Amino acid sequence: MKKILNIIYQSYLIRDIVLLALRLVLAYGFFNPALMKIKDINSISDWFESINIPLPILNAYLATGTEVFGVIFLTLGLFTRWVSIPLMITIMVAIVTVHIGNGFEAGENGFEIPLYYILMLLTLFTFGAGKYCLDQVLKLKRNEKIV
């Protein structure tokens, strides 16, 4: 029993490394789509219109902004819980409008990978950014000022 408790305790020690890895993997995953949208926002707007997304210009800018700020904030570990919400919404829209009709399989442009993104973002929303983040640094500075 003591050995099992020790294993559980050891797993808590790597939690912050796992949360950091999740943040960085997600930031990397959003980087190229964000860059693609920045480079040609008009094509994104036209594509959104072709798949019947309402207000395609506005939604192209919203999706682009969400992904750009998502990359920055996830990388820095800044406002991680907050940025997870619009990123999850953006991915859910992508699933409904693009992926769900293709089934589950990633190789068939299904919703498998976006679902994994949502689960990773939900993990960050639930547990936060971990110890290795800018949020933690700002929290420590606020606590120093109070004391």
Q: What confidence tier does 147 reach under pLDDT thresholds 50, 70, 90?
A: very low
Q: What confidence tier does 6 reach under pLDDT thresholds 50, 70, 90?
A: confident
pLDDT (tens digit per residue) in 84-123: 999 999 999 999 999 999 999 999 999 999 999 999 999 9
pLDDT of residue 1: 80
Q: What confidence tier does 2 reach under pLDDT thresholds 50, 70, 90?
A: confident
pLDDT of residue 143: 67
106 Cβ contact list (under 8 Å, min separation 6): 112, 113
Percent with pLDDT over 70 in the chain: 95
